[in-house]
Structure 1
Amino acid sequence: MDDWCILVAVIFSIGTSFTVAYRTQFGMARHTWVAEEWMTVPQMKVFYSSIVLYCVALITVRMSFLFFYRRIFPSPTLRKVCMWFIVGNGLWGTASICLNLFNCAPVQGFWDFTIPSKCVPPEVVWYFVSLTMVITDFAILILPLPAIRKLNTSPGRKMVLIGCFSVGFLTCLLSLIRLSSLKTAANKTDPNWDYVDAAMWSVAECNVAVFCACIPTLGPLVTGIKRYSLDSPQSRKLQQAAMEWANRDLHPPRELGATDLESTQRSHATQASEPLTIQ
């Protein structure tokens, strides 16, 4: 199940990246007074869809982490806690998507400013959703650490496992940076230009989250590559050359002295004096 979740996350993360890039066709990354008036509606429509794609991408990444924990850790308590997190993440994810989808009444008021509508300030929704996501991310990443400490394996291997799972905290850092950029942009008056940083951090957060979710599964791949490189002909030649060089250093050639020369000459003389026998 974790593989299916991360596959969905990859698709929606790519969609988020595409929509952010596509918004540049309608005035994003330009100053408001430079962009043409007709660009506002299509850009806001693309922006509307990118918010939903962003939320789904991060929700499915969290689901992938939780299902992965349930698959590899045998602890009944941890598996039960993961199930609670899965249900809670699903419910809260659905609620956050609905908050963004129905931010305005009617919905068209989000992208069409000419029709009468009532909207919750989008910054309020974004702050609330982003902050709860950061807290949830920290909780999910801390969840397996006690179970890893109890594993019957070497301390070095435990540290490697903890390091693999702790890389996910990079996603939390990006979430906080994105939240800060949203707060900065909300206090300015040039949205096409000021929200560029927030959009870029959103894309980075989605893609880094997918990468971090895949790190624990890369162990067998790294082991296989290492084994193949050690068994390759080039590697064997290098090992043989290294052994020959080591033996050369340990057993340097000995210089022949006077005694050695006399024994060599005596040996040659003995061989020359022996009669040649034809069989």
Structure 2
Amino acid sequence: MGKSIEGRDGEGLTHMTIAVRIIVLILAIATTIVCVLRLYLRKFVIKRFGLDDWLVLCALIGVDLFSALAYIITYYGLGQELQNVSVDDLAVFLTLEYASQCAYLVIAAAVKTSLLVFIMRLFPTRFIHVAGKSLLLFIAAFTISGTLALVFQCRPVQAAYDKTIPDASCYPTETSYAILMMQGVIMFVLDVMILVLPMRPIWQLQMPLKKRLLVIGLLCIGFTACVAALVRFSTLKFTNDTTNFTYSASTSLIWMEVEFNFGLMSGSLSSLRKLFKVHAQFSSADASQGESSQFTNLEPPRSRHSRLKGGITKKTEIVRVYETSESQEHIAPMNGLGETTKTTNAYEVRANSTNL
């Protein structure tokens, strides 16, 4: 066990080990980029950093730490035949595999909580809030109880990963398999419920059909996480595998990675539309500078008075909107003048005129 991590690849890599590393790296990089862009948008462009953003940050840290664990464990036998794994490496493998089992519900709960709070902020209706809070309470209670059941699966606790401890008492393999399967089924059902929750409010938005379908499509990326959780059921048989579990556990870990990363990305991708829209519209405004100078100064709404024939004063009020909410924005003219409109555009310049 004295070898460095870098020196372990000299002993030979299997195709499964390489596949795990590639998938883990791609998913971790993609998720980090998407979430960082979303957080940048909220903090520096929209300048509204809410609770859901903090939860996304916490979930991102948790998912990336899990990805690091998944990558490191490949240096200690994951994806290899059990007979080719040394005793020292196997001891480390069992410790990391135990940690990944105990962390599953915690990471999954962090991802689901961030998505739920995001949906509750977008659609502040009574139904969404009641359903969202109910799901949050269930997730919290289930995560705590389920994690404790895995942490204390052996007596003493160390016997879960240290097979040299004599007179240890652990769950039968059938019980461990049943617990993991039950947790996976419940998490799958929660994924479906969370993703279905905002579909009706999105469909009722006053926006073009194409945009509604786009928003639904972006959120439906989370269904990939549901599929991953579903496929993972068939991979949990590694808990009953006593002959080659270092190899069979790799597929379960891959689907856990897919579930976590796609679940986290699904709530952030819909926000990135606004980032590119704002950038494009700011660029367009800069390109047209000079053509209509009355709209180029970024300053608070103001009134202009001009004298018309017959002593009638014309008052022009310019209303600027630099951002919108995630669903709809009501642009109200100043002092009750003009008309009220609905828009989904960010950075809109609008002029309302009234003759007095």
Please give the residue correspondences for 1:90-169 in structure 2 after superposition, counting only pairs within 5 Å: 90-115=140-165, 116-120=167-171, 121=173, 122-169=176-223
Q: Counterpart of 1:242?
A: none
Q: Which has the higher contact order (CA 8 A, sep 6+)?
A: 1
Residue identity matched to 1:153 = M
Structure 1 equivalent of residue 57 of structure 2: 7
Tell me how far 1:62 sits from its aligned partner. Answer: 0.6
User: In 2 relative to 1, CA 189–16 (structure 1 residues): closer, same or farther, beyond 3 Å?
Assistant: same
The aligned residue for residue 249 of structure 1 is: none
CA distance in 2, matches of 1:144, 1:20: 32
Output the TM-score relative to the length of structure 1.
0.77
Once residues 80 and 190 of structure 1 are traced to their aligned partners in structure 2, the CA distance between those partners, rounded to angstroms, is 47
Structure 2 residue 103 is matched with structure 1 residue 37: no
- Cα deviation, 1:139-184, whole Å, max 9, x if unaligned, reads 1110111222222333233222222222211110111122222236
Q: 1:223 aligns with which of 254, 271, 277?
A: 277
Higher alpha-carbon deviation: 103-112 or 183-192: 183-192
- Whether 2:132 is the aligned partner of 1:82: answer yes
Which of the two has greater helix per residue? 1
Q: How many Å apart are 1:230 and its aligned residue?
A: 4.9
Q: Return the TM-score normalized by structure 2.
A: 0.61
Contact 2:118 2:267 survives alignment (8 Å):
no
Paired residue type of 1:84: S
Q: Could you tell me how far apart the structure 1 residues matched to 2:283 and 2:101 are?
A: 44
SS of the aligned residue for 2:79 comes to: coil
Q: What's the offset of the Cα at 1:207? A: 1.7
Contact 1:40–1:111 (8 Å) recurs in 2: no
2:145, 2:163 → 1: CA distance? Answer: 25
Residue aligned with 1:152, SS: coil
Match 1:197 to one of 251, 263, 266? 251
Tell me if the contact between 1:69 and 1:79 (Cα under 8 Å) persists in the aligned partners: no
Match of 1:173 in 2: 227
CA distance in 2, matches of 1:167, 1:25: 31
| 1:14-25 to 2 correspondences below 5 Å | 14-25=64-75
Q: Name the Cα RMSD after superposition.
A: 2.0
1:232 offset after TM fit, Å? 7.2
Q: Which amino acid aligns with 1:27?
A: G
Structure 1 runs (4+) greater than 6 angstroms displaced: none
Aligned equivalents of 1:165, 1:22: Cα separation in 2: 31
Q: Per the alignment, in what secondary structure is the counterpart of residue 30 of structure 1?
A: coil
Q: 1:73 aligns with which of 118, 123, 138?
A: 123
What number of residue pairs does the alignment pair up? Answer: 233
CA displacement at 1:61 relative to structure 2: 0.9
Whether the 8 Å CA contact 1:30–1:192 is kept in 2: the answer is yes
1:95 CA displacement: 1.6
Distance 2:100 2:238 in 1: 20
1:74-109 Cα shifts (integer Å, max 9, x gaps):
311211111111111111111221122112222111
Alignment-mate amino acid for residue 43 of structure 1: F
2: distance between equivalents of 1:38 and 1:89?
37
Distance in 1 (CA, whole Å) between partners of 2:200 and 2:213 is: 12
Contact 1:19 1:47 in 2 (8 A): no
